[in-house]
Amino acid sequence: MKNLVLVLLVTFSFISVKGQTYFDVDFGNDSSTNTIGGFIYEFPDTSGYLAVGAAPIIDSRYLMFIRLDELGDTIWTKMYGVPNLARTNNGGKYINEGDSNIIFSGVLYTDSVAPISPDTSLAMLYKIDTAGNMIWERYYGDTTKQTVALDVQKARSGYIITGWTSGWGAGTANSFLLKVDDLGNEEWKKIYFIPSGISDGSSSVDTTDDGGYIISGSVNYSSPTNLNDMFVLRTDSLGNTAWVATYGGLNFDNSEAYITKYSSNNYLLTGGIGLDLGNGLNSQTYLAKIDGQNGNVIWADTSGIDQLNYHEGFVSNSIILNNGDILIIGYIIPVVNNPEVLLTKYNSNGIKLWERSFNKYQGNNSNYMYDVHETIDKGIILTGNLTNLSIGEQRLWVLKLDSMGCDTINCTVGIDDASTSLSIIGLKVYPNPSNTFINFELPYNLNQINAELRLFDITGKEIFVKMVNSYSTQLDVSYYPKGIYFYQLINEKNSYSGKLVIN
């Protein structure tokens, strides 16, 4: 193994105001058109950041370490790898050991490399220092199967790794937990088969107060064909299953889900949920606070646009701020299919405070972020990758924002929907949340007479319908269980839809 240093091409902008910095930088090199972003570490002395990603070089993929100063300018870049092996790191999760060392997981793709059989991969665990030097690396898995590590968490001793595998006695693909010591040596492993699923994969792991573990991911079913749900599974300290629960609707949900400890025995689950409320199948973001004792939902929120082939979803663990507020990153894929980055902030009760979207080069470029953190100056920093079709490259991307998620001073981009009433093009829905009655009001200049009011549950099942022949009506929700619901108010000329919360 050896380290190689390559010169990177960087595109950036920088602003500093009122103690918070803004910068927007992306990186590529002349050996790669497919650079990927992973995570970013902030140095505690406020001297800058270490961005970690990966880039292909000839027939290999190398890990990439980029040292940035506090303004986003590059100090140095290092590449780590060997020919004929493809390394990647996972986005959005690393462990800061507190001794200037970092632990993170990844994958070693070993296709066509003797004596490993084609179409194989090994789970990886890396330990580096903040100068970009490899301290050690460990790999795990069957040499003739696929094993993919997607997350790692600090355990009471050592580390706990999760992902999916077709080895170790698994089927087509199943979730696993792998416990290793402080040096990355294997102690035990467990394979999980989610009930009724034909395959499943865990994408996130956290610890429990009693020394056990909790994982989340996606389970795929054979009936209905190729549909899936999010799942959460809790274990004891040896990986034995305590309970498993599934979440989602009757349609295709996100292929990944993320679990984060919020407080003692309470966790946040993030992902995406497929819905069809009458305007065509789409997907929306999903955030739920669940009880760690049994998996029951305490509260949940979904958000998105009810439009055929318009998709949103969360793709990261929740970042919990000191005041209990929650930051999550995700994606927006409009019908025109140019993915944008979504950054959302919630309060501790699951009420959305604001959201922002980002598409650096606009047009039909793809934009993805995988990691988000609050910075020492109380701003926000994100890492991922984007395409710049004008030069035909995919590049690692680092975006530094202020505390409101703005990339410019006093930005007005995004929404603020923390109010208790909802107004959509003249329609007022209040109080929302409610556990008694919810009012629907329209101004008199809108033609909404002879309309239907429909109510749907979280799965998209219609549970109520009534005719509306006046400019206001009231819906009694006291008979329905607590949770997320959706409404439609529709006639020949107008159509409104939105979300209701029954508390």
**How far separated are the first and last CA of the chain, in Å rounded?**
57
If one compares 315 and 87, the residue with the highest pLDDT of the two is 315
Is the pLDDT at 423 greater than 50? The verdict is: no
| pLDDT in the model for residue 358 | 93
Q: What's CA 448's distance to the chain center, in Å?
A: 39
| pLDDT in the model for residue 414 | 41
SS (H, E, C) 64-123: EEEEEECCCCEEEEEEEECCCCEEEECCCCCEECCCCEEEEEEEEECCCCCCCCCCCEEE
Q: Mean pLDDT over residues 344-356, rounded?
A: 89
| pLDDT in the model for residue 274 | 84
Distance CA 374, CA 42 (A): 10
| pLDDT in the model for residue 9 | 44
Distance CA 338, CA 235 (A): 39
What top-level class would CATH report for the domain 422-502? mainly beta
| Contact by Cβ (8 Å): 417, 432 | no
443 — pLDDT class (breaks 50, 70, 90): low
Task: Give the Cβ contact number of residue 2 at 10 Å.
Answer: 8
Determine the residue type at 377.
D
459 — pLDDT class (breaks 50, 70, 90): low
β-bridge mates for residue 224, sequence order = none
Is the pLDDT at 495 greater than 90? The verdict is: no
Q: Mean pLDDT over residues 310-324, rounded?
A: 91
| pLDDT in the model for residue 32 | 55
CA angle 145, 146, 147 (to 5 degrees): 120
| pLDDT in the model for residue 234 | 98
Taking phi over 0 as left and psi of -120 to 50 as alpha, with beta for the rest, 248 belongs to left
Determine the residue type at 446.
L
Tokens of 63: 């890990």
Q: Which of 50-64, 122-136, 211-225, 487-501 has the lowest mean pLDDT?
A: 487-501
* Domain range annotation of the chain: 2-401, 422-502
415 — pLDDT class (breaks 50, 70, 90): very low
Q: Which of 286-300, 317-331, 404-418 has the lowest mean pLDDT?
A: 404-418
Contacts of 393 (CB under 8 A, 6+ apart): 28, 32, 33, 34, 35, 387
Distance CA 416, CA 350 (A): 14
Is the pLDDT at 492 greater than 80? The verdict is: no
If one compares 443 and 151, the residue with the highest pLDDT of the two is 151
| pLDDT in the model for residue 63 | 93
Locus of tokens 């959305």: 352
Q: Mean pLDDT over residues 271-289, rounded?
A: 82
Distance CA 386, CA 369 (A): 8
Q: Reduced to 3 states, what is the DSSP secondary structure of residue 176? A: strand
Q: How far is CA 232 from CA 157, 191, 200, 271, 325, in A?
A: 23, 14, 11, 12, 23
10 — pLDDT class (breaks 50, 70, 90): very low
Backbone phi and psi for residue 67, each to the nearest 5 degrees, phi listed first: -90, 120
**Count of alpha carbons within 13 Å of 448, Cβ hemisphere only?**
23
Q: Mean pLDDT over residues 82-94, rounded?
A: 82
Task: Give the Cβ contact number of residue 170 at 10 Å.
Answer: 21
- What number does CATH give the domain 2-401? 2.130.10.10
| Contact by Cβ (8 Å): 207, 194 | no
Distance CA 19, CA 402 (A): 10
Distance CA 412, CA 355 (A): 11
Distance CA 417, CA 355 (A): 9
| pLDDT in the model for residue 155 | 97
Closest to 261 (Cα-Cα) out of 159, 154, 175: 154
Is the pLDDT at 98 greater than 90? The verdict is: no
| pLDDT in the model for residue 369 | 94
Q: Which of 74-88, 97-111, 317-331, 447-461 has the lowest mean pLDDT?
A: 447-461
412 — pLDDT class (breaks 50, 70, 90): low
11 — pLDDT class (breaks 50, 70, 90): low
- The model's pLDDT over 472-484, given as tens digits with 9 standing for 90+, comes to 889 999 888 888 8
Taking phi over 0 as left and psi of -120 to 50 as alpha, with beta for the rest, 363 belongs to left
Distance CA 400, CA 373 (A): 10
170 — pLDDT class (breaks 50, 70, 90): confident
In the chain, what's the furthest Cα-to-Cα distance? 76
| Contact by Cβ (8 Å): 211, 238 | no
| pLDDT in the model for residue 420 | 34
Across 253-257, 279-283, 408-412, the highest mean pLDDT is recorded for: 253-257
pTM: 0.81
Is the pLDDT at 112 greater than 60? The verdict is: no
Closest to 173 (Cα-Cα) out of 193, 199, 154, 151: 199
